[in-house]
Structure formats: structure tokens, C-alpha cells
Chains A and B, each alone.
Chain A
């Protein structure tokens, strides 16, 4: 009867169970995401509708969140700009140049960086890295002070936006380099040999075969790193000396905070509408992270035809 009246294809029970489980997992993810979104919107709503003078700062929600958003993006962009080239270089060294035994050890060490809790990074940043950076910042101010980024005056403690970005860069380094390493390692031998047989040097082979093949993977890894940098809380809360609003000055003591660090620092002493305001800032972070991921996906997809994924 099934063969005549039903248009459904024959399916083994195992297949049906597996398909159902996989579908369930997919739906669960969507439900969790929807739940978080609903929570954020509902809890942020009072702050969205409250009169401007009730919001901390007294100038309304937008001017409360704007510097935080700016600080979040600035720290994350600095981290990404520093970490991505380094991570790609490490991944290339491990997969293309290093002798096998050294490569394994080095990869292991880089992966270990990911296992360090972020609060440890925070302590390391504030007690070790920040003071060590002060002379370098002085030098930047003296020699490159004409660039607004390094206008100074140099922070005496070194707890600057640039230090925060550096700490974040080290934190996101392992995730980017691990992904870059995997995609570089998977470069098909066919493509590597095609380049070598044309008379390419090792570096030319990397440029012709390895980097193009891995580029979408590297972008994906960088976006994962960016996601972590945007959401990083404790390290920033410890390292960054917060006072002041939007500025591109990376080496002074007057820095905007970041959304996540601000929530962590303010939440214990907040109540009422202040909590709603913090959650509204969290909603903004949520939307930004979402947009970043969509953007990354679009970049990767646009090159999909040339990516070699299909061949």
C-alpha cells in the first residue's frame, strides 16, 4: 500500500531516527537563540521607552551606549588587526615550513593559549603587560604623536585601549591560528604540486595554492575571533582604565569602556531602570555580533565559486 498510495520515499528506521535527531538539534538551536532574543528585548524595553533623564548619565540611552559600542568595536578591531596576520603566519609556519616534530609542539603550545581563563589574561595584562608598555607608548607619543591614534598624553599605568587590544589579540590568536592551520593543512596536494611544477618557490606556491584555498577559512576563523573579542568581559574590565567618551587616542588614560566589561562592572550596583539599560546595551552587542557574522558569511559566499570547495 505504501508503494502505491504514498509518495514518500522508502526510508529505513535508522535513517528516520537520525534525520529526526538532527532536525531536532537544529530546531533547538533556533529556539535557544529566539529565547535569548526575546529575553533581551523584553528586559531592554523599559530602558528603550524611559525618559532620557532616567538613564544613567542623564542624556538618554543612545548617548549612554554609543561610547560603549565604540569602545567595544575599537578594542575588537585592534585585536583582530594584530592577531590575524600573526595567526596566519604561525599557521603557515606550522603547516608549510616547520619540521614535523617542531610543528606538533608549536601547535600544541598555541592551542594551550586558548585554555587560559580570561581573568588570568586580565591579571597578566594589568600587572605585567601594561607597565611594560608604558615606555613604548612614550616613544609612540614622542615620535608618532602627530597621528591622532598616538596623540597622548601617555597613560602612566599603561592601562590603555592599545593594551586592551593587545591582550584581546593574544586571547583570540589560538582560535584563528587553529582554524587557519586546519584549512592550510587541507590544501589539496594536486594544487600544491600544480604550483611547484610550474616552478614556483615555496612562498610562491603558498601564494598561488595555499592562501587562496584557505582564505575563506581564515576569514571564518577571524570572525570567530572577532566574536570572542567583542564579547570578552573580564580581561577588558581589569585592563582598561575607563574614563571618558569616544576617542581614537589609543595610549591615553581616558578610554571608553566596552559593552561587556561595562555590564560586568556596573551590574552589581545597579537596580531598576539601570539594569534595563545594561541589558539594552547587551542587546546592541547581540545585534552587532549577529551582523558581523552575517557579513562574514556574505564575504565567504561571494567567493564560493572560486574557493575550490566544489572541486
Chain B
């Protein structure tokens, strides 16, 4: 049930500080869209504004429009809780609920959405989600163990399983592999390639090879100086960004001649 996201003239604030300015972009369904750029350029902030997680921070707010298949996410009668149920998120550091077992971690979102789910149905969904996250074979014998007993890479796949268990329309990933070793990173990247058949995926990454490997489209964020808002400098198919970008700044960043 992948959906398309249209962002227009988005400004994102922390209190009175304008962190991201004037982002207009269309994110295609059933594809991976990568956001790259230097630290502090606002790509994570932009990502968090898509599922309305940005406004969780005190004083944080957003101006502009984000529309998902015709549904205005920041419309007057749009409930942020509903938005977050449709748009899943995976964070930079794996964050399974430490007090819950592996099973309960995956079931957590399902239980929020549907209080009276039958045990058998729940079992099936948990298994399907864990299989979807390529984790089932590693954990099927210890579903009752705490989620924190897994390795970092396994924990991150557990978090992906938790996010896809509720069948979201869009999956946001904020540097999902930056805290992981190369083998776990590869596992996550393979997983993204599988998941894009079913979901719209937006990933923030510092790793340009990763963006080149997994994404169809890439957006380059940059800021002109400290205290200045971040902007979306260029948004193009990944091949074009990495071979023949329109903007000089993009080319400088990608070729390492940045700053």
C-alpha cells in the first residue's frame, strides 16, 4: 500500500530558528529515496516532519504542506497519532522496548491499532513481520527473550519488523545503519531492496555509497553557513546525482571537495 508524498514549500522551525527552508519535492511510491548532505543540514529534521515526529519537541513547528495520496498530513483535522500509524519510522540507534520480549516488541504496534486481536492472528503477523525483516530464523526459538538481548544489527532489524508489522504506507529511516558493522549494514540494505516492493521508503544517510546502492532518487541538502537554514539543493534520479549532477554544490559534496 505504498503511497506517494508531495511536499510543497515546507519550512521547519525549532522555536524561532528556521532549520529547513522551502522544501518542495515529490517522493515516488515503491522506491527508495535517499537524503544526503553534511551534518546539521536539516535532512533528519525534514524526515521527522514527514511523520509529524518533529513537533514532539517543545517549540518545534512546521509551515507548508505535506500531502500523502491526497491526504493533507498537516491539515486542520489531521491527527498526528494517525499520521504516525501510516508512516513508520526506524531510528539511527536501534530502540527496541527494553522491557518487552522480542515477540512483544513486534506486536507492540499491532496491539495499539487493534486491541482485540486473536492470539493466532497475532502470532502469524509477528512471524510474517520478522520474516519480512529477515530476522525470523535467528530469533524464532527465543521470542520470549528481551529485545535487548540481540546484537545491534539484529535489534535494528527487530525495529524494522516492528515498524512494518502495522503495514504502514511509508517507511522513514534515519541513518538506520550508521551504528552497525558492515555485515549488518549489508543485511539492512538488502532488506530495503525487498521492502521497497511494498512500501515507500525514505532514508537519510551519511554514507554516499549506501545512497548510490539502494536508492532510485536522491536529494542533496545543504546549508550556506552556520545558523542558516538547510535547503534542498538538488533532487534527481540517483544515477544522475552521482554521475552528472545539475548543481555545482552537489558535485563538490559527492566528490569530497566540500567545505
Contact = CB atoms under 8 A, between A and B. Distances in A.
Given A190-B95, A191-B95, A196-B53, A305 B81 contact: no
A196 B148 contact: no
B146 A305 contact: yes
A194 B97 contact: yes
B163 interface: yes
The CB with the most chain B CB atoms within 10 A, among A188, A204, A308, is that of A308
A306 interface: yes
Interface in A291-311: 303, 305-308, 310-311
Interface residues of B, number: 32
B108 A198 contact: yes
Nearest to A215: B99
Contacts of B71: none
Given A194-B159, A200-B81, A208 B148 contact: no
Contacts of B148: 308, 310-311
B186 interface: no
A188 B85 CA distance: 21
A193 interface: yes
B33 interface: no
B82 interface: yes
Interface string A180-199: 00000000101101111111
Contact of A208 (B83, B108, B146, B166): B108
Contact of A200 (B89, B112, B163): B112
Contact of A198 (B58, B93, B98, B109): B109
B166 A198 contact: yes
A209 interface: yes
Nearest to A211: B99
Given A196-B84, A197-B53, A212 B99 contact: yes
Interface residues on A, range: 20 to 34
B112 A199 contact: yes
A213 B53 contact: no
A63 interface: no
Contact of B56 (A188, A193, A311): A193
B14 to A, nearest CB: 15
B176 interface: no
Nearest to A196: B56
Q: For chain A, what secondary structure do more than half of its interface residues adopt (helix, strand, loop), or is it mixed?
A: helix
A306 B166 contact: no
A311 B147 CA distance: 10
A112 to B, nearest CB: 26
Contacts of A308: 98-99, 148
A306 B146 contact: yes
A48 to B, nearest CB: 46
B98 A193 contact: no
Contacts of B108: 195, 198, 208
Interface string A160-195: 000000000000000000000000000010110111
16 contacts: A191-B95, A193-B91, A194-B95, A194-B162, A196-B53, A196-B84, A198-B88, A199-B83, A199-B85, A201-B81, A204-B112, A212-B98, A306-B146, A307-B99, A308-B148, A310-B148
Given A194-B162, A196-B56, 20 more contacts: A188-B95, A190-B93, A191-B95, A191-B97, A191-B98, A193-B91, A194-B96, A197-B163, A198-B109, A198-B163, A198-B166, A199-B113, A199-B166, A200-B112, A201-B81, A212-B97, A213-B98, A213-B99, A305-B149, A310-B98
**5 tightest CB-CB pairs across the interface, nearest first?**
A308-B98, A199-B85, A212-B99, A197-B89, A190-B95
Interface of B: 51, 53, 56, 58, 81-86, 88-89, 91, 93, 95-101, 108-109, 112-113, 146, 148-149, 159, 162-163, 166
Interface of A: 100, 188, 190-191, 193-201, 204, 208-209, 212-213, 215, 303, 305-308, 310-311
